[in-house]
Structures are given as C-alpha cells and as structure tokens.
Amino acid sequence: MSVGKVFHPGISSNHSDDSPYSWSVPPYHPSSEQYENTKTCKGPDGELHANLLCPVDVAEVPEGTLPDKQSTEEAIRLLEKMKSSTSPFFLAVGYHKPHIPFRYPKEFQKLYPLESITLAPDPQVPAGLPPVAYNPWMDIRQREDVQALNLSVPYGPIPVDFQRKIRQSYFASVSYLDTQVGQLLSALEALQLANSTIVAFTSDHGWALGEHGEWAKYSNFDVTTRVPLMFYVPGRTAPLPEAGDKLFPYINPFDSVSALMEPGREAVDLVELVSLFPTLAGLAGLHIPPRCPIPSFHVQLCREGQSLLKHFRFHDSEEDVALHGNPRESIAYSQYPRPADSPQWNSDKPSLKDIKVMGYSIRTIDYRYTVWVGFNPQEFLANFSDVHAGELYFVDSDPLQDHNMYNDTQGGDLPHSLTP
C-alpha cells in the first residue's frame, strides 16, 4: 500500500507510482497536493503568492487541509483496516515536507523564534571548490519571494535576514512533519499493531541550508547526501512494553514540558539506502535475493545493497562488537550530473541529453573523495581518464568539507585506495 509521495512522480515511476507492479491497491495521493506550488502563500502585501516561505493558516487554504495531514489520515485508515486482517502488510507513507515550498501550519514558527536562528556555520563558497561542484539552487530562485530579492546568478548570496527566514521555515517544516509521524506511530500502537510491525524511517536526500553558500540538494556534499535512517523492530530495538506502558506516546511540541524519550542504539557504520530492501526483507523473515550481476537486465529479482541485519543482533541488551567489523571498510557512493564545468541555469537538474560531466563520490569514515569526469549520455558511460575536477575532504580535520585537498595530493601522494 502506498500513501503520498513514495515514488517520484513522472517518468521515473512510469507516471503511475509503479502501479500495479509495486502495489496491491491503487496508490493514494492527497487531493490537496495540487495546491503545493500555487499561489496560496499570503505575503506582507496581503496578496497570495507562490513563495518559498509559506507558513499558512490551515483553515484558509484550499480544502482546509494540507497534503501531509491527509496522508496521515489515510495511513491510519489503512492501519485500521489491517487490524482486522490476518494477512501481513507493507505500508509506505511518503510525506512532502520539508520539501519546498515550505508550506506548513504557521503555528510551528513559534517553535523557532527568528531571533534565535543562526546562520550556517560555513555560509561562504569555499575558495577551493571547483565551479563544476557548485549548485546554483535555481529551483528556489523561481519562487516569488526569492525573485523579489534580485539575486545575482550563480553565487548569490542571499541576504542574511532572508537566510534566517529560510532556516526557520525549514526547521518548522521538520517539526510539522514530526507531528505527523508521531500521530501515525501513536495510532499504530493504539491499534495494537506495534508489537508485530517493523518501522523504518528515512528520506531520499538532505538539503543545504546555506552551507558552502549553497541551498537545496543538488550536490555531492554530506549535507545533501546524508539522510536519517531509523528502525524499530519489535523486541529487538526496544523491549516489548509492559501492560499500560506506551512505546510511541504522542508528544505535542507545543506543550510547555515534554517528556524525555529513551534514546535508541546508534550505529556509526556507513550504510546506503540500497541496503533498505535486503534489510527489511531479512527482518520480515523473507528470502534475501542474491546480489545483482553486471549487467542485470536479464535477472527478475536481485539486490545491490548489503543487508544490515548484523546491527539488530543483540545479546542481553548489549551489542556484539565483533559483528560490526572494521568501520573503515565501509564505503558509501553517490553521484551527481552536470551539463558544464561552470554553474549555469540547468546545472541543478540537467536533462539526460545535456549531461556532459558526472561527479562520482566516495564517502568513508575518514574522507569524502569526488571526481568530476566526462560523461557520454548516449552510452551512459563515464570516462575516468577525462578528469575535469576533484574534491578531497578529510573528516577529522574538516568535518564541514570546506577545505578541498585534492590539488594538494596530485603530486603523487594520493593513496591508491582513493583512486577510482
């Protein structure tokens, strides 16, 4: 069952949320989704605009609701239906926020007073950043309130006071999302499904909030490639609750005093989202498909990620350290395309035919290494002998990735393990 924005719309999901192949019932999309990018944001002039920053009075917007609220309601309805079913179920709930525009109930701004909002710790474009690596955040420039700032392209910068407003609305959008997740988990428990349901929480990408002078998601930096990944597995990640106790009590963020929750276990290993499928399959007791061969077009079912089941094997509430191996052996990969070596109007989202350069990135526990190489969009081939630029950041000495050491290593000192 699919609720909300689970697949990206358009050709990437066959214009159908991959239905009927991925779902046994038609995917659900909230009716108010159609207003997300329309003029529903009341500006200082009292008129409605299509803004980036869009705190709203929910009672005044079309249909008197918001997409994520509708998705929560539909997801709870489906859970109620599953309560009386003897069949196992898979329910994917895709929330829109904190995706732009930041359209959320305006009361959530109160949680983040503007005077307490700080700027990004590194709001300047790093001196050693190759131009090909920079994303000019063209999507937010198209919003009416950002257009009114009359910013220069590609580097901006955005005025400091507006930067604070963006960060405030992003944080408020996250807290609004958090209440929706809280309501959904609280319903799961109220329906007595929590003791038999695995829950995974994740996202498809991060979002730059002024770091490196960038905004949005179109880069290979940690701030855009890292995502939350949390699991609840009954009896493994948390003991089953005693009678009268609650695993997922709903906590109202506007209450003056909020109860502290017992933190879960934290794993420091690098993992990738391609591991989500084999991990959930294994936790559910299903057969984990074999790794995909190259090429894999002839294989009906296979996997690319490795299972993370080792992280869920606990003994007497203590982790078995031997199961985790050497964290320095873990590698996460990402890549991002560019149409040219310098930022231009389509740098963030180039069409396939326009891709000329591809940035391939390796993240280990010690460093992030990115190489920008020539790319043939007709053959889907990268030419690693055609290096346009490179980036190398060491985590311990440069956790924010502001000091590119790539050119300092080109005299022959680059470790063999860093070469593509």
Q: What is the pLDDT of residues 78-119, one digit of tens each?
A: 999 999 998 999 999 999 999 999 999 999 999 999 999 999
pLDDT digits (tens, 9 = 90+) for 218-237: 999 999 999 999 999 998 88
The string of DSSP codes covering 118-146 is: PPPS--SPPTT--GGG----HHHHTSHHH
**DSSP-derived pairing of the beta strands 92-94 and 2-4:** parallel
Q: How far, CA to CA in Å, does 221 sit from each of 9, 98, 224, 256, 337?
A: 25, 19, 6, 37, 13
Q: What does the block give as tokens for 249?
A: 């009590």
Q: How far, CA to CA in Å, does 176 sit from each of 67, 102, 205, 307?
A: 12, 10, 18, 32
pLDDT, residue 321, reads: 46
- Tell me the pTM: 0.93
pLDDT, residue 323, reads: 47
pLDDT digits (tens, 9 = 90+) for 298-320: 999 999 999 999 888 755 444 44
Helix (H), strand (E) at residue 409 = none
Q: Which residues contact 173 (CB under 8 A, 6 or more apart)?
A: 97, 98, 102, 104, 108
In the chain, the percentage of residues whose pLDDT exceeds 90 is 79
Query: Alpha-carbon distance 309 to 236, whole Å?
Result: 11
Angle at 310 between CA 239 and CA 289, to 5 degrees: 115
Query: Alpha-carbon distance 369 to 221, whole Å?
Result: 10
pLDDT digits (tens, 9 = 90+) for 314-364: 554 444 444 455 656 789 999 999 999 999 999 999 999 999 999 999 999
Query: Alpha-carbon distance 412 to 22, whole Å?
Result: 49
